[in-house]
Amino acid sequence: MVEPGKLYSAWAQKEFFKVSVPFAQASQQDWLEQYELCKTCFSKMAASDVLDFVKGTCFSEHGISVMSTECREIIVSRSKENCLIKIYPMEDEVDEWDEAVKALDIFLEHLIIVRNLEAEICAQILKKKKLTNIRFFDLSRGDTSQLDKILQMAVISNISAESFRQFVTLLPHTSQTFEQLLTTLLKTAIGKFKCSNGTEETKLLYRVLQRIQENLKHESSILPQEVETLCGDPNLTAEIRLKALEILQSLKPHAVRSDTTLLYRQTQAIIASGWKQAPFSFEESDLATEESREQLFSKLLRHASAWQHLLILKDILNSWPPCSDLESRLTSNIH
């Protein structure tokens, strides 16, 4: 059975947005009057219900878009005042209103950060992207159960690497470092792809890999082990496999260039980008020596039946370790 306080909270959240003028014309005073109207229901709510009201109004996507940060800050402050008068400390018992006040203090600190960020970017060219970053940050306070969804929205957005990192460090989650959170995001994206490898799941996984690649310039960066496993996964698109390989190669390019395992994975992925199905199977040993690579290339050339296949073969040659005369011998067979 739903508790009455929760019903009052849900009703008050809906009533709050029934302002008498169009949203675009609503002033701060209009919203504060709506708050005072809804506040009459607080006496019928538990502390958690009041918090739900604040989240649903001040930190919902709707509330963030129609109210200024200053206005939301006033509403949170007034809600805190309402909770303070209800605190009745008891021995060996946690007062729910005291806990609500602590939560509202965190919300106020959050809004102060938002206000400062907004002030910093007013004259910046990247204002729109920065405001998108702040919007994600604001939404994260509204419903922490949606934090994963908000993170994924930020991952696939076009905000810069710097803005994404700033957004993550401000989140109300967790003791995870930025690198640990990237690893968690990668595992989540892989799990989603395995359940349903549609366009959205593919995009999320690719963008997480891009965010990991962006972070490699930081000294504290840690490469998730899962990146290497993606290289050889035949269920993934060639684009994702090649991105994973690109990340690995960027870490130690000279060492990786002669790494037969990665060369094998890379060749597999390049072939997959040109053939729906590999024309034949081959082993890691087929890339171990210059002679074996020449034999493999010749075999691939015999299976080339379209111009796209020839372009793929060129990409394969470019990805292999350089050799003074191998390329000229092989490409002479094309003419």
Q: Of the residues 122, 144, 175, which one is the last residue of a structural domain?
A: 122
Q: How many domains does the chain have?
A: 2
Residue 74 resides in a domain: yes
| Structural domain containing residue 62 | 4-122
Single-letter amino acid, residue 232? G
Residue 98 resides in a domain: yes
Q: Which residue has the tokens 């082993």?
A: 283
Q: Of the residues 68, 100, 122, which one is the last residue of a structural domain?
A: 122
Residue 131 resides in a domain: no
**Side-chain half-sphere of 29: how many Cα atoms within 13 Å?**
0
Determine the Cα–Cα distance for residues 210 and 216; give it in Å rounded to an integer.
10
C-alpha closest to that of 313 among 329, 331, 325, 295: 331
Residue 304 resides in a domain: yes
> Is residue 9 packed enough to be buried (19+ CB in 10 Å), middle (13-18) or exposed (0-12)?
buried
Q: Residue 44 has what pLDDT?
A: 94
Find the angle CA(22)-CA(72)-CA(15) to the nearest 5 degrees: 50
Determine the Cα–Cα distance for residues 98 and 100; give it in Å rounded to an integer.
5
Determine the Cα–Cα distance for residues 123 and 133; give it in Å rounded to an integer.
16
**Tokens in use for 105?**
């203090």
Residue 146 resides in a domain: no
Q: Is 90 helix (H, G, I), strand (E, B) or coil?
A: strand
Q: What is the DSSP string of 198-251?
A: SHHHHHHHHHHHHHHHHHTTSTT----THHHHHHT-TTS-HHHHHHHHHHHHHH
Run means of pLDDT, 10 residues per run, the chain, 335 residues: 88 94 91 95 94 94 90 96 82 75 91 75 49 65 70 81 77 73 88 84 92 79 77 83 83 55 82 78 82 85 80 82 60 52
Residue 267 resides in a domain: yes
Q: Of the residues 88, 122, 156, which one is the last residue of a structural domain?
A: 122
**What is the 3 state secondary structure string of 119-184?**
HHHCCCCCHHHHHHHHHHHHHHHHCHHHHHHHHHHHHHCCCCHHHHHHHHHHCCCCCCCHHHHHHH
Q: Residue 9 has what pLDDT?
A: 95
pTM, entire model: 0.59
Q: Residue 256 has what pLDDT?
A: 44
Q: Residue 41 has what pLDDT?
A: 93
Residue 199 resides in a domain: no
Residue 241 resides in a domain: no
Q: Residue 101 has what pLDDT?
A: 94
